[in-house]
Structure 1
């Protein structure tokens, strides 16, 4: 045994990887949706399984938009096509609807060796990209969509991070600034930290149902230009965690602003199927961009994102998504192809789900009626839960909640008494984290503190999904309301 080996065996060898030697950017990454409160929720679940006495019988994870985990049933047609793709013998099984077998055959024929287990092109299966392009054209009123501008991805998250990788550059005052809405989905702050870019916050207007204000964009941009080079403007519509649906006028104003200021637009539109409030309508950035004419549609660089994880599908685990990129520099496009090639291809099962939702059963096909019924049921249930959430919080003194116009979350603002704020400071926690942790320990309800998404200084919020089934949601809201009343009384 060498001296070095002996030293190592004796425990004397220094670790190569330590907190000091590791990538320091990783230490700046935070992701509240699966942060400390969720880790504690998992510990409590294990304690319950071990028979530890609690004032509740289960942990209700209202922290994340995981539809199937909350009891939503998969859409039958999606799973039929996936079953056939996974076990092609079912192509000959006439108990499976003919339209499901037809779509599965199209996907399998496009796979290497006609097998789901083969790699695909890095950009994704061509047949699925054509299907996505057709879907976009139909959605946007026949505005053309080029399949070569479609990039399939491992959920929308992967495409968002990939786009940011292309955009981030520079050092010092030339570092790329990325404008993100506050409150924001923590993927953005995490990716910006990891890539060593500069996070540029613009605040949504809570008093005006979380609307996006152009003057606030201008303020944020002008302040940021003093210390970085803002190049990117991110918009989440419908909003996460805020649940607002931006108006057509706001989208037009944002596009003009991006054109005037030379910003690359990133439109996160993964909740485009989730619009509930009367008078609200989803407008895609791509559609509005082209309707504004060539001055904008020929010049503004836009990447828009969609996913199979949300909507009425809720197929989070399959990790399927796409981005469409408009007006990308041809030389940069080559670099993008190289970048995505490193990871070979997105999950083929996720690509298949995307192929199904962008080419669903049509009138006259055997699966159409059932598909439509299941889709409408999911969306109507979500709309009912959005209204219920708004009503209960609106009837609770000390809690303010804007209408849940879309997406899958409410983001209520809570008044926290000064004594509770002092207790939180003593515990080394933010006030909303302190509130959420006590809520978890005493009721088993797991929600995410607003500080994990960003909020105006001096305000406190939490994000809660509306996905639990209606009866469970009623119970959750009732327990939450009672807890809040007891909490404020305790610290009054």
Structure 2
């Protein structure tokens, strides 16, 4: 913001604009919105467009269905405090399809304005003589410590094995919050790793909180997203009937990237009914209708026979192009930072596109006056080159083991 103000005031800098490569906001980086999503929402906001034949027929039909589900206007409150029943049902059907027949119930779905809001309230509600602790994988999302601190929850870190592409080290686990695929590391757990975590949770009687908001962002050939719930139920009743699991998905990430519409859902597995009622009671006011409708569109994209499918497929069908571009960008940033002063880079083979890269760097700067070396480097890069990157020290890291986000 300070640099933007300098530009407005005519103050000369060695660059013309700030390039932010640390943001997890896809549209901020120039990604175009999916036309089907925006067209359906536009019709819902202005129903007169239902009669506009310039819009594809499936767009108008979907908008008509969604308007009927929300009572005829997006300006109405949701028909229940917990959200629109139609959206709950659609989410449950999507999860069942995604997990290849593992059933999901609309009663197990909790809709929230954002992926963090309802979880924070759940953690904040804990009582007892000892504080609530959440064992959190390091590196973690850089906003997580602030969120947990606001909730009065103690962050208890456990380190992932970078030498094994950010694998889980069970010896460090005590209480688990899993981010999957990994944020910011971009790692994707394989089935055996997920099974190990589930067995540990079953043995210790722990609740698993699994952040799966990047499930649509796995582009590396030979790697695929497998949900914790699917693995849990394939492990048999010994685990599927006892392990408590909350999985999270959001509008903000992946191909859709609609951060500003504020919509997320939780699926709650094996929770005591009384606790489930309590969890839903943490919701203050009904979630925004527009965000709910956008989620319904996200999980029910155009089908092959629909008029909008070809346009949508041009976005979804670019996995090979995205993989090629991703490979190019990885090496571009590697050489970019390699030839800059102050650091040397090491590349990991990461299959998930989140921010861009989580680069390991060998810093030639040293910490000064309580400021970590990677933070000093980020400040220098912003001031001298106009490039905004995130310091790995914000995500938690082993001492003097530096990364850039």
TM-score tier after normalising by the smaller chain length: over 0.9
* Contact map agreement 1:390 1:403 (CA 8 A) in 2: no
Q: Deviations over 1:157-200 (max 9, x none)?
A: 2233233234x3323xx222101110001343222211222211
- Cα distance 1:134–1:349, how it changes in 2: closer, same or farther (>3 A)? same
**Structure 1 segment 407-422 matched on structure 2, within 5 A:** 407-409=353-355, 410-417=357-364, 420-421=365-366
240-249 vs 157-166, which moves further: 157-166
117-126 vs 450-459, which moves further: 117-126
* Contact map agreement 1:425 1:431 (CA 8 A) in 2: yes
* Contact map agreement 1:393 1:400 (CA 8 A) in 2: no
**For structure 2, which runs of at least 5 residues remain unmatched after alignment?**
none
* Contact map agreement 2:375 2:393 (CA 8 A) in 1: yes
Q: Deviations over 1:123-172 (max 9, x none)?
A: 22111111111111111001100011111111222233233234x3323x
Out of 282, 290, 298, the position equivalent to 1:349 is 290
Q: Does 1:271 align with 2:214?
A: yes
* Contact map agreement 2:372 2:393 (CA 8 A) in 1: yes
Q: Does 1:438 align with 2:380?
A: yes
TM-score (norm 2): 0.94
* Contact map agreement 1:361 1:367 (CA 8 A) in 2: yes
**For structure 1, which runs of at least 5 residues remain unmatched after alignment?**
1-41, 222-231, 464-492
Q: Deviations over 1:67-98 (max 9, x none)?
A: 11111111110011100110011112222112
Matched with 1:129 is 88
Q: Does 1:405 align with 2:351?
A: yes
* Contact map agreement 1:252 1:289 (CA 8 A) in 2: yes
Question: Is the helix fraction higher in 1 or 2?
Answer: 1
**Structure 1 segment 365-376 matched on structure 2, within 5 A:** 365-376=306-317
SS of the equivalent of 1:239 reads: coil
SS of the equivalent of 1:461 reads: strand
**Structure 1 segment 196-345 matched on structure 2, within 5 A:** 196-217=152-173, 221=174, 232-340=175-283, 343-345=284-286
Q: Does 1:359 align with 2:300?
A: yes
Count of residues in Structure 1 that have an aligned counterpart in Structure 2: 397
Pair member with larger Rg: 1
* Contact map agreement 1:237 1:267 (CA 8 A) in 2: yes
Out of 149, 163, 171, the position equivalent to 1:193 is 149
- Cα distance 1:207–1:433, how it changes in 2: closer, same or farther (>3 A)? same
In 2, Cα distance between equivalents of 1:198 and 1:245: 26
In 2, Cα distance between equivalents of 1:54 and 1:188: 33
In 2, Cα distance between equivalents of 1:352 and 1:380: 30
Matched with 1:66 is 25
